[in-house]
Chains A and B, each alone.
Chain A
Amino acid sequence: MRKPKINARVRRETEERLRRLARAASVLVDGDAFKAVPVDPAINTGDDYRVDHEKFIAVKKTLMKIKRLEDGDAGIITWRRFKDQADITVPVDSHPCAVRPGNHPITPAMAEAFEGRTAVQELDWPWRGCPILSVCAPIRDSMDDVVGVVEVFASLTPDRVTVDMLRY
């Protein structure tokens, strides 16, 4: 499939918007709740995977509300460290990385965020033919430790394909 052309203005505005959303998420997602979502942190999928219902719901609702802070296309998911990889923990939207099993290699941008900094990356979503811009930011608990990463992402060709498919 031929790569679509990316408009420089769309690219710049998308990054600015995603950075604002990532900043909000980084502040508003309750890191203490987030780190307690999986009942057994050693399990990340399969029949025995369980979550703390209340904490999961609290994080999910926060993420869904954050998406509404800005107009325009946006998707949002969260990651936690899982062994030497990162595991999707509370997604709102579909992402190029599969949620089951949700552990994937840590990208440089995710690694930065796990170190406490915000970072930007571009991703391909070949199946949907959609280049994606993504901003990763840390999730901190009340001790100020980084306990996860929030990733906010959007299509760079929103006139053709969007990542947000939950706005009914």
Chain B
Amino acid sequence: MPPRIPPLWCADTLVAVDICAAPEAVNPSEPADFALRNDLWDGPAGTVRLAGAAGEIVDFQLVLEKRTGQLEAVRLEGGGDLSLAVLQHIAVPVDGSFLDDPVVPLDPARAGEASTEISRKAPRFPGRRRQCFLVEIAIPRGTKPGPREAFLIVRAGGEEMRLKIALKVHGFELPERATCVADLNCYSRATGAGYQGGQEESERYRAIEREHFRMAREHLGLFHLLPYGHSGRIEDGYAPKLAGRGRSRKVADWAPFDTHWGGYLDGSAFRGCRGGEHPVEYLYLPVNLNWPAYFENFGSPGYEAEFRNVLGEMARHFAERGWKQTRFEVFFNHKTRWKYFPWDMDEIRFDRDNYATALFARMATDAVKTTPQVKFINRIDSSWIFNKSARTELGDLIQLWVVNRSSQSEAPDESAELRRKGQAIWPYGGAGPIPAPNRLDCLRWPWLAWGREVDGFVWWNALGWGNWEAVGRGNDHCMYAGARFGLSGPLASLRLKTLRRGMQDHAYLTLLGRKAGSRAAADAVVGRTIGSKDREDWYQRGEGVEAGGADIQTTSRTAKAWNTAPRSAWLAARSELARAIEKA
């Protein structure tokens, strides 16, 4: 007989709890008594065990069985300066089922009322057996190491339940800034994912967009908006106004650009934001094959004059404004299949197209060379022929290589060579699927970046083009429009929460490396727990992995340990890393 499931229980956020399954099957990949006791939850004792460092957010899922009744109140007692946030999971339609992914913040002081309201506005479906909430506890900077005890008081269905939070605070502090770049790449407008209205440039739109940037920063990510379309069309307000043609082509008005991007470039848009108030680390420029130079002059002196003049002006303007921390990307997202331009300059398939990328990289580098205090970089998105391209002149011309994860996985030598030259590499792929027994696919990205010794990674389409009724499988939809719940900004997803956790893990790995003076100590821990012993183990040399391109969003099927290790191995790795940092 299966164990009777408690009215309220807790679980690791990495576990996807089935909200409609029978009690003994809340997650088929976990033991049948998972709801009674698991790696962080001792049901009989009513205790949740957590561990984290100062500056970290630790989280878990609070699960209310349907028979328990509606959440009425929740608060943290005895936590001192620990701060509590509670978010209600919302289920979205995926593959014919309803699965939790977006989370809506609840005001703990009026949790019951707020939860009822959220449930009323959420997508409806039959067969729900339980409601999950994400509980986040922020450990402030300066918190003394050692055991802490607090109580989470949950009132539901007229009864009050008292959960003990046994928190171990590690003997180190996490840095405020992300230790690698978690790039949440998006296109066009931040309102793409199901917002109604607000598409035009306006103070209202900018406010919504700013919430996206802030949400990414809060989760240790970088919101990254490509400001132009395949045709070269630029969103209203994303570029300065230009005037003239040929040698007289110049910026006529900086106001639209400065108004739109200035807050991100001086950091003021992040005021009060967890993750820091610093400027964005990277920003796409509106530069494309038809801006600032008109493509009708391509190949003529006038085209080059238009391109060089305006890029030079941009560099000088950025220097005057003091925007010297951000890396400004010159990137051409054009593809032959989109028909507007003749070359693949994104996910280049054929060698013969590389000359266009090289030509423009040379031109851009030359245009801004008199303003070295501003960081202009050439970026490429590479896949099919990354291994070959990295060994051409592009290896010297391109400072940021965004590379399909699978293509990069077979090219450890080329990756090392680029890094030796000082170039940055970010593997890219999807955010991880919603229908999965766990969220390891999201957690692994920062680990993979560390393992492969690269500088970051990209979730290629963080907002997607779907909406609440058509989320897809989730690979490209890690923030949701909050308007449905009366919020102007976006909602986070459980996958974004998992990303933050992975980024905090990356900080552990980085800290240990810094303290130990090399990655050997971290390699030893990871080898013992996850099974990947060194950098080479994180690559897939010679596996013949699925080639990457625009039409293939690959998820590696490799048998490498990092791709097959169970959830328990990642938990063990984190604990051991913490101990190793404390000892180092």
Shortest Cβ distance from A102 into chain B, in angstroms? 6
A83-94 contact mask (Cβ, 8 Å, vs B): 1 or 0: 000001111111
Contact B291 A45 (CB under 8 A): no
Contact B337 A57 (CB under 8 A): no
Least CB distance, A87 to chain B, in whole angstroms? 9
29 pairs of residues in contact across A and B, judged by CB atoms under 8 Å: A45-B337, A47-B349, A47-B550, A49-B337, A51-B336, A53-B342, A56-B342, A57-B299, A57-B342, A60-B342, A61-B297, A64-B296, A65-B296, A88-B339, A89-B339, A90-B339, A91-B231, A92-B340, A93-B231, A94-B231, A99-B230, A99-B340, A100-B337, A102-B339, A166-B233, A168-B239, A168-B241, A168-B242, A168-B292
Shortest A59–chain B CB gap in Å is 10
* Overall SS of chain B's interface: loop
Shortest beta-carbon contacts, A-B, top 4: A64-B296, A56-B342, A165-B233, A99-B339
Contact at B241–A166, with CB atoms within 8 Å?
Answer: no
Q: Give Cα distance in the complex from A88 to B349, angstroms.
A: 21
A61 and B298 contact, CB distance less than 8 A: yes
Residue of B nearest to A56 (CB): B342
Q: How far is the CB of B572 from chain A (nearest CB, A)?
A: 41
Chain A positions 73-129 with a Cβ under 8 Å from a chain B Cβ: 88-94, 99-100, 102
> What does the 1/0 interface line of B219-247 toward A look like (CB < 8 Å)?
00000000001111110000101100000
Given A91-B231, A99-B230, A168-B234, check contact A64 B295 (CB 8 Å).
yes
- Total A-B residue pairs with C-beta atoms closer than 8 Å? 68
Give the A-binding residues of B (Cβ under 8 A).
229-234, 239, 241-242, 290-292, 294-299, 336-343, 349-350, 384, 549-551
Which residues of chain A are within 8 angstroms of B339 by Cβ–Cβ distance? 88-91, 99-100, 102
A12 at the interface (CB under 8 A from B): no
Q: Which residues of chain B are within 8 angstroms of A165 by Cβ–Cβ distance?
A: 231, 233-234
Tell me, in angstroms, the Cα distance from A93 to B519 when the chains sit together.
51
CA distance A50 to B344 in the complex (A): 9
C-alpha spacing A156/B299, complex, angstroms: 35
- Rounded to whole angstroms, the CA-CA distance of A51 and B291 in the bound complex is 22
Interface residues of A (CB under 8 A from B): 45-53, 56-57, 60-61, 64-65, 88-94, 99-100, 102, 165-166, 168
List B contacts of A56 (CB < 8 A): 342
CB neighbours of B297 from chain A (8 A): 61
For A49, list chain B residues within 8 Å (CB): 336-337
| B337 contact from A46, A92, A94, Cβ within 8 A | A46
Complex Cα–Cα for A53 and B291 (A): 19
Known interface pairs A60-B342, A166-B231; 7 further A-B residue pairs with C-beta atoms within 8 A, sorted by A's residue number: A46-B337, A49-B337, A56-B342, A91-B231, A94-B233, A168-B234, A168-B292
Contacts of A92 in B (CB 8 A): 231, 340
Q: Are A61 and B337 in contact (CB under 8 A)?
A: no
| Bound CA–CA A60/B338 (angstroms) | 14
Note all chain A residues with C-beta closer than 8 A to B551: 46-47
| In the bound complex, CA of A64 to CA of B294 (Å) | 9
Task: Report the minimal beta-carbon distance from B48 to chain A, rounded to whole angstroms.
Answer: 48
Residue picked from B338, B349, B549, most chain A C-beta under 10 Å? B338
B286: nearest chain-A partner, CB-CB: A168
B34 nearest CB across to chain A (Å)? 43
- CA distance in complex: A48, B550 (Å): 11
Determine if B298 and A50 form an interchain contact, defined as CB atoms under 8 angstroms apart: no
The residue on B at minimum CB distance from A43 is B337
In the assembled complex, the CB of A128 is this many whole angstroms from the nearest CB of chain B, namely: 10
Q: In the complex, what distance in Å separates the CA atom of A50 from the CA atom of B292? A: 26
A50 with B336: CB separation less than 8 A: yes
Query: Which residues of A lie under 8 Å from residue B550 when comparing CB positions?
Result: 47
B289 nearest CB neighbor, chain A only: A60
Question: Which residues from A are CB-within-8-Å of B239?
Answer: 168
Nearest neighbor of B342 in chain A, beta-carbon distance: A56
Q: Chain A: which residue is nearest B249 at the CB level? A: A168
Contact call A99/B338, Cβ cutoff below 8 A: yes
